[in-house]
Copies of this chain bind each other. A is one copy, B any other.
Amino acid sequence: MKASNLLLKTLRDIPSDAENISHRLLLRAGYVQQVAAGIFSLLPIGNRSISKIRKIVREEMNLSGCAEVNMPVIQPKELWEESGRAETFFPPLANFKDRRERTLVIAPTHEETATSMIRSFVSSYRDLPITIYQIQTKFRDETRPRGGLLRVREFEMKDAYSFDVDEKGLDKSFEIMVKTYKKIFARCGLDVVIVDADSGGIGGKESKEFVLIADSGDDTILISPDESYAANLEKAEFIKNDYSEKKILDKELFETKHINTIEKLSDFCKLPKNKIAKSVIYNSDGEIIIVTIRADYDVNETKLRNILGSKDLKKASTQEAINAGFIPGYASPIDKRNIKSVIDNSIELGSNYIAGANKEHFHLKNVNYPRDFKSEIVGDIAEAKEGFQSPNNSGELISKKGIEVGHVFKLGYTYSEVMGADFTDKNGDNKSILMGCYGIGIGRLLAAAIEANHDDNGINLPPSISPFTVNLIGINLDEEKVKNKCNKIYDLLLRNGIDVLFDDRDLLPGVKFKDSDLVGFPVRIIISKKNFEKNDIEIKSRNDSNSNYVSETKLVDYINNIINI
């Protein structure tokens, strides 16, 4: 194609609200235009990359035996009432009343529609397994959209849904998708880590994230040195150290005037934090609860939310804690009356703790579990950190920042049971279908790829997803000879199936060179009079600082070699 047809306009100024490098580069290189907060148009250049990503995704999904469908963006709210997510989905469902006063929802995801499709068309085990997918627009009304295409409100997602007769089938469908995702990311030139993840608002029991390591990422992941264990922060486990003492001592009240933080208490008592039982007061769906954890660890609120099954979890306010009978700074897991309690299992690996006395300026010594306090809810609610022991005992966890580019879930019966998606098995028994769901954010993938592939001059995407493979630039296009040569080379490349952008704009060569680096074409061809005598074509790879000279006959092979590296 020719640049004059492509609205190719790079910006020299970096927009002030663009925090991420991919956001700045997407705007500067003319890939996208912002239309509203978290809502973007793809400009022709950006659309080229996105089209290539879509194509790779479709090819790999089809190869793995998935069937492409297309489910609507606008949906009746009734579908969401069936699944129970009409009121609970977060962020809240964007919706409106149509002209018949029926509430329609702008879909943030498509589990409900997919389940509804399958329950209509699947009746027997013979119809299963099946995996359907689509590439479709979604809308989530995030409070704080940011990072350009990394966290938007309207986005295009490849979402797939698998349907199986049993756990073994689901495991297989899940594994096929994991393999397919690996291929997709590999073809996009991205090196991703697969980590255990929390299932969040989608539901289900097991989930994995595909994370591209990048310092600008929102996600924190924890990996063992040999990468045999990897999980995101919400999910990551670790081996907790045991500080138990043999001798269990008698509980004792002591004065701790103004010693109302863990730091002060540790200093005051001259004891490590692992000798302190820390209590934190939370508000879970309106109920005040007390959480107790060994003070060398912090509470992981995702784990706490999961163990409680709470929808809305936050730290209780000071007033809420006081109203519930707690003395701030001195809250105690003992004498907590009828308040629900959660205990991290680290508490079991220690003894003779210092703990609050729930009395101003007083703590207790030699508090012991379960002698002095207990709870029906004991489990892992501690947050993993760099340096903690990997749960598979493969060394100390390493913390990295990354960007989630794909997410796969074993949903199990979450949707099929409530929505009545079932089938008749070989014995004639009626059973619920086992589901999985699998997502890749298409725009997010592009942004993540840019976060991982850029330099000071601009974007440097892998050839498979760059807007064009070759950028053809002529020096002094108003000279007939140069123009003719450009057109000849342009035709040659097109005929040989090479994706070429001929920069026919009426601009100075320097501007075109800068744009070429900023937009990020893997290969640049420069046609100028000075090379005419040599009869060679000047060619430069985006990753190379020097040009090479290739004869016209060898040009196509030479380019194919560069892009296949």
Contact = CB atoms under 8 A, between A and B. Distances in A.
A563 interface: no
A116 B104 CA distance: 28
Contacts of A7: 67, 69, 117-118, 121-122, 127, 130, 132
Contacts of A42: 69-71
Interface in A55-83: 62, 65-76, 79
A72 B39 contact: yes
Given A39-B74, A99-B143, A137-B137, A69 B44 contact: yes
A69 B96 contact: no
A50 B136 CA distance: 14
Interface in A115-169: 116-118, 120-122, 126-127, 130-132, 134, 137, 139, 141, 143, 153-154, 156
Nearest to A74: B154
Interface stretch (A28-36, A261-269, A299-307, A513-521): A28-36
Interface string A11-45: 00000000000000000001001011101111110
A51 interface: yes
A30 B121 contact: yes
Contact of A95 (B4, B62, B67, B96): B96
A5 interface: yes
Contact of A68 (B47, B71, B76, B95): B47
A113 interface: yes
A308 interface: no
A130 B121 CA distance: 46
Nearest to A139: B74
Contacts of A35: 71-72, 75-76, 79, 113, 116
Contact of A154 (B33, B41, B73): B73
Nearest to A36: B76
A223 to B, nearest CB: 35
A505 B94 CA distance: 41
A100 B153 CA distance: 13
**Which interface residue of A41, A62, A106 has the most chain B CB atoms within 10 A?**
A41
A50 B68 CA distance: 11
A98 interface: yes
A42 B130 CA distance: 16
A79 B68 CA distance: 34
A429 interface: no
A288 to B, nearest CB: 27
Given A41-B117, A106-B74, A116-B35, A1 B67 contact: yes
A127 B7 CA distance: 7
A6 interface: yes
Nearest to A58: B51
A325 interface: no
A467 to B, nearest CB: 11
A9 interface: yes
A69 B43 contact: yes
Interface in A217-263: none
Contact of A44 (B50, B67, B94): B67
Interface string A490-533: 00000000000000011000000000000000000000000000
A92 interface: yes
Nearest to A67: B44
A387 interface: no
Contact of A62 (B1, B96, B137): B1
A483 B96 CA distance: 53
A40 B99 contact: no
B39 A75 contact: yes
A55 B122 CA distance: 30
A91 interface: yes
Contacts of A127: 4, 7, 9
Contacts of A69: 7, 41-44, 47
A41 B74 contact: no
A137 B156 CA distance: 12
Contacts of A506: 126
A167 to B, nearest CB: 21
A395 B116 CA distance: 55
26 contacts: A2-B65, A5-B130, A7-B67, A9-B127, A33-B117, A35-B113, A36-B72, A36-B76, A36-B104, A37-B100, A40-B72, A41-B70, A41-B113, A42-B69, A42-B70, A43-B121, A44-B68, A47-B67, A47-B134, A74-B94, A74-B139, A74-B154, A92-B99, A94-B104, A96-B96, A99-B143
Interface of A: 1-2, 4-7, 9, 30, 33, 35-37, 39-44, 46-48, 50-51, 62, 65-76, 79, 91-92, 94-96, 98-100, 102, 104, 106, 113, 116-118, 120-122, 126-127, 130-132, 134, 137, 139, 141, 143, 153-154, 156, 505-506
Closest 10 CB pairs of A and B: A44-B67, A42-B70, A96-B96, A36-B76, A9-B121, A41-B71, A39-B72, A74-B154, A72-B154, A5-B65
Given A36-B76, A39-B72, 18 more contacts: A4-B127, A6-B67, A7-B122, A7-B127, A9-B121, A35-B71, A35-B76, A36-B74, A39-B75, A39-B76, A44-B67, A44-B132, A47-B69, A70-B156, A74-B94, A92-B99, A95-B96, A137-B137
